[in-house]
Amino acid sequence: MKKVNKIVIYTSSLCGYCYKAKSLLITKNILFDEINVDINYEKKKEMTNRSNGRTSVPQIFFGDQHIGGCDELYKLYQENGLEIFK
């Protein structure tokens, strides 16, 4: 059986860029797991470690591959790169 990689997006409740990134994924029917780092320090630390020190949200991953933030996600979308996530 082939392993299915998932999108994981680390977010914060009041983040407009998080909302924008999630909206794009929803519009493209791409499933994702959301991890809110507002109240969970361990998850924020996990996000920072996985993203090589980035502390801003959103931070988006496809399996172990770090995509980046909202801007990088939209760039990938403009280059038709989101098709691999379906």
Q: What residue ranges do the domains of the chain occupy?
A: 7-85
**What is the rounded average pLDDT of the residues 44-56?**
97
Pick the CATH number of 7-85 from 3.20.20.70, 3.30.450.20, 3.40.30.10, 3.30.390.10: 3.40.30.10
Which pLDDT band, with edges at 50, 70 and 90, does 1 fall under?
very low
- State the distance between the two ends of the chain, measured CA to CA, in whole angstroms: 17
Q: Which helix (H) or strand (E) holds 49?
A: helix 41-50
pTM for the complete prediction? 0.91
Which pLDDT band, with edges at 50, 70 and 90, does 5 fall under?
low
> Which distant-in-sequence residues (6+ apart) come within 8 Å of 62 by Cβ?
5, 6, 7, 84, 85
